[in-house]
Amino acid sequence: MTPFERHLSAAAGYLELGMAADTGAELDEIDPARRSEWQVLALRVAVYQEAKDWVPMLLTSERLTAMQPGQSQWPLSLAYATRRCRSLEAARAILLAAQDRHPEESTIPYNLACYEAQLGHLAAARAHLARAIAMNAAHRPLALADPDLAALHGELRRGEM
């Protein structure tokens, strides 16, 4: 195992244990020439999310989205951070663009439903949520517990979606 692989493995292990600070410290041990590789950046995103450090999460997610446009998790991370440090509208725009690039990813319409509901656009929220649930039934129980979707909880309980 190379030093790079050893540090990545240790960092991932710390992250699984909920030890975000240790994850970051382990990533800092990686050779500076390799710190911009996607595997390191991906762990950084998780550390920033755990720490609620939205601006670095946003910037790192932007880099990953550009580096790996075929990976749906990066625009989702980007939207998550954008919602918290910029606006719901900006996060919504990111996911509206991402749904065309990743039509198979059910988490995108689910998060769009959350954003639309929070913006008061309930018809759009219903449509996105219905699509997410049709793609992955596991979104229904999540939606019932999601405070972002509180305005739709009654409809969900009645089986209207």
pLDDT in tens, 4-52: 999 999 999 999 999 988 999 999 999 999 999 999 999 999 999 999 9
40 contacts: CB under 8 Å, gap ≥ 6: 8, 27, 30, 34
Residue 19 forms part of a structural domain = yes
Would you call 123 exposed, middle or buried from its count of C-beta atoms within 10 A (0-12, 13-18, 19+)?
A: exposed
Whether pLDDT at 75 is above 90: yes
Mean residue pLDDT across the chain: 96
Residue 32 forms part of a structural domain = yes
Residue 103 forms part of a structural domain = no
Residue 31 forms part of a structural domain = yes
Can you say whether the dihedral through the CA atoms of 43, 46, 51, 55 is positive or negative? positive
* Direct distance between the N- and C-terminal alpha carbons of the chain, in angstroms, rounded to an integer: 50
Tell me which residue range forms the domain holding 3: 1-51
pLDDT range class, residue 73, cuts 50, 70, 90: very high
Quote the number of domains for the chain: 1
Taking the C-alpha atoms of residue 65 and residue 157, their distance in angstroms, rounded to an integer, is: 36
Q: How many helices (H) and strands (E) does the chain have?
A: 10, 0
pLDDT range class, residue 159, cuts 50, 70, 90: confident
Whether pLDDT at 161 is above 90: no
pLDDT at 27: 95
Residue 46 forms part of a structural domain = yes
Taking the C-alpha atoms of residue 159 and residue 92, their distance in angstroms, rounded to an integer, is: 26
Rounded to two decimals, the pTM is 0.91
Residue 140 forms part of a structural domain = no
Q: Are 37 and 60 in contact (CB under 8 A)?
A: no
